[in-house]
A and B are shown apart, each in its own frame.
Chain A
Amino acid sequence: MEPQWILVLSAVLFTMGAFGVLWNRGAITILMCVEIMLNSANLTFITFARQFDQAEGQIYAFFVMTLAAAEAAVGLAIVIALFRLRESTDVDELNLLKW
């Protein structure tokens, strides 16, 4: 497959994720969209690793996966704590931290 199509797919996924973060109000959905963005980035890394025959891109992809796992763990824990407190995961209702 031509690498440029993979990059286009990656860009489409990233844009979907970004708009998903902006559009959605549910905390779980937002976390999922963030995962999509991270994985689109992974896709880009791997594409270029194959294109240039170098291992760094793959290594970075592993790092990002680790990071994504940690992020999901912490994020989900926060969401559960929030839900226990407010019985809702709507981020627009969680607006107390301001002036």
Chain B
Amino acid sequence: MLKLIWLIPLLPLAGVILNGVFGRRLPLKAVGTIACLAVLAAFGISIGAILELAELPEGVRQFETDVATWLPLGDLGTGSDLTIPWGFGLDPLSSVLLLVVTGVGFLIHVYSVGYMSHERDYARFFIYLNLFMAMMLLLVLGNNLLVLFVGWEGVGLCSYLLIGFYYDRPFDERTGLTCADAGRKAFIVNRIGDFAFLIGLLYLVLEFGTLKFTELNTALAGHHAPGWMLTGIGLLLFLGACGKSAQIPLYVWLPDAMAGPTPVSALIHAATMVTAGVYMVCRMSALYSATPEAMAIIAAVGAATALFAASMGITATDIKKVLAYSTVSQLGFMFAAAGVGAYVAAIFHLMTHAFFKALLFLGAGSVIHGLHGQQDIRKMGGLRSKMPATFVTFFVAMLAITGIPGLAGFFSKDEILAGAWNSGNRVVWVVLSVAALITAFYMMRLTWLVFFGKYRGDESTGSKAHESPALMTIPLMILAALSVVGGYVGVPAVMSGWVGLGDVNKLHHWLAPALTEPHGAGHGAEVAHEAGMETMLILVATFVALLGIALAWMVYRKDGAAAAWAKRFGPVHHLLRNLYWVDEFYELVVLRPFYAASRFFAAVDRWVVDGLVNATGVTAEISGQVIKLFQTGLVRNYALMFMFGVLVILYYVIRAI
């Protein structure tokens, strides 16, 4: 199976081609089945390949295969052979991503079959979705940065296509965006990051003469590159990750990406694509570990994003936007983890987050489906009894993301916080803890407003509210189960110590060989001697989660109480409601000058460049206008001119004699 990993991205691509060619003529069921089977097959091969990978001894758990040569560049004066192959590789790091992408991806595909059943363009949706899977798998499996970049751009394209799926519908009344605008916004913001990413790649080539991960790691192990160069490359790549993974300053596209269908938000904008940046940073851990400056910036940006986005989640009223800010915030947690050197924790949280955030989004989709398109949480409430399966699974996910002990999010978030504490970067720890508190608050708020209390929408929709079909609820249940047990692959040593088990942190042992950790920095699972401290941290984290939930319960328990609180914190509420005016700020600082410059250059183009071209034409035309006057149509005029001509020639001929 290991030799077949190149097939994994090709299977969804086959689905794209099948549905693309025959999709319009096939019945809906066939389209959905093809799409799901393509992903299921990829999932099957992935499992087989990973099982085979696990049998290899720990030090050499790695497999690479080059399917074809892509760019035979040869020696570009760098002293090393820069041939870029279509190369695929599997190692512990990509295996985790592979399972998440194909596994969660498959569940979301199944869910989509139910969710999209009433939509037009059913085939188009599944073509995009399968294309996304192919690109994401290419991103994960690429064994060099350029193949990764192809996938990186490919998922960006699919994200754009799927955000703008309802291209003719309006989306946001505050900013007046349509769904198509939201897609464009995502694409353009990503482009800024990708530009930096590409420059980073070119510098890597200049400095190391290769883009293969294995060769880069070897080169970095004995690197002689100047530190500022590594920092610069690291930051350029990180800016690319900022775009893809929605970090400050490029996070603005993700909340608007909610214009896409809900399964898309779950798959692309929660579970997989947006985590590509985290994956890339962990993949380049050898580079980042060699440059503490870049690491510090990543940690700072991650922590700031975690807090900043979480605060905006408090006042959002669109069920999907709350989850979108939550995703930005959780991605901030992952980057903060990577920034303090806790790469394992970052990947662990990436995995558990994929489970519970996909579940939250799919649950939200189920609610929206049941309420016939209603997304405003102010018009929901009391849906607990009407949608029992959705409620229970959503509630589990809510507990998981807030970090209630025993659920997946608890373990991974704890590991991040422990990593931040142990790295000595206490500010990051404090900021992340506050972010965790706010996370618990807005998640409880969301759950309460949707499922508890009285129904606040109009009666006609409310009476028709119904539980979603099994095709949608079964994926929810599977994801709920994963949100509960998914954390047990990475139980920190200190916790397993409580119940008398040794170090059972399987994930850490699995991932550690694939990652290069910074020198000197301790790591969560390795500092068992600080067990007392870590127990304290766990207790604090748990307390914070419970406190957040309790606060939200206090505020939202009674109808109308929330409005009173909003009044009491008037300015803050106003600030949050308007999302810190970041979009407006970008409009003023980036877009306005850009438009002004565009208008200026448009004028230059129109009057100077076009002016020169037009002047040529005008000259020819005026000459023509003058010369045409000689063509009178009168034969005798011609005869006269002819005679003058002859006389002139005759004069010159005679004079020459």
Say yes or no for B564: interface residue by CB 8 A criterion.
no
- Return the contact of A98 from the options B632, B639, B640, B643 (Cβ within 8 A): B632
Question: Smallest CB–CB gap between B199 and chain A, Å?
Answer: 59
Question: Smallest CB–CB gap between A89 and chain B, Å?
Answer: 12
Q: Which residues of A contact B636 (CB under 8 A)?
A: 21-22, 25, 91-92
- Please list the residues of chain B having a beta carbon within 8 angstroms of any beta carbon in chain A: 628, 631-636, 639-640, 643
Say yes or no for A51: interface residue by CB 8 A criterion.
no
- Are B628 and A99 neighbours in the complex by a CB distance under 8 Å? yes
For the complex, give the distance between the alpha carbons of A70 and B274 in Å.
90
Say yes or no for A1: interface residue by CB 8 A criterion.
no
Contact residues of B: prevailing secondary structure: helix
Q: List 15 A-B contacts (CB under 8 A).
A: A21-B636, A21-B639, A25-B636, A30-B635, A91-B634, A91-B636, A92-B634, A92-B636, A95-B633, A95-B634, A96-B633, A98-B631, A98-B632, A98-B633, A99-B628
- Are A91 and B635 neighbours in the complex by a CB distance under 8 Å? yes
- Please list the residues of chain A having a beta carbon within 8 angstroms of any beta carbon in chain B: 18, 21-22, 25, 30, 91-92, 94-99
Starting from the known contacts A91-B635, A91-B636, A95-B632, 13 additional A-B residue pairs (CB-CB under 8 Å) come to: A18-B643, A21-B636, A22-B636, A22-B643, A25-B636, A91-B634, A94-B633, A94-B635, A95-B634, A98-B631, A98-B632, A98-B633, A99-B631
- Are A22 and B639 neighbours in the complex by a CB distance under 8 Å? yes
For the complex, give the distance between the alpha carbons of A82 and B52 in Å.
99
Question: Smallest CB–CB gap between B117 and chain A, Å?
Answer: 69
- Are B643 and A97 neighbours in the complex by a CB distance under 8 Å? no
For the complex, give the distance between the alpha carbons of A93 and B489 in Å.
104
For the complex, give the distance between the alpha carbons of A25 and B637 in Å.
11
Q: Which residues of B contact A98 (CB under 8 A)?
A: 631-633
For the complex, give the distance between the alpha carbons of A95 and B643 in Å.
20
Of chain A, the residue at the smallest CB distance from B624 is: A99
Question: Smallest CB–CB gap between A83 and chain B, Å?
Answer: 15
Question: Smallest CB–CB gap between A43 and chain B, Å?
Answer: 19
Q: Which residues of A contact B628 (CB under 8 A)?
A: 99
Of chain B, the residue at the smallest CB distance from A18 is: B643
Q: Which residues of B contact A30 (CB under 8 A)?
A: 635
Question: Smallest CB–CB gap between B463 and chain A, Å?
Answer: 80
For the complex, give the distance between the alpha carbons of A98 and B630 in Å.
9
For the complex, give the distance between the alpha carbons of A92 and B640 in Å.
14
For the complex, give the distance between the alpha carbons of A94 and B636 in Å.
11
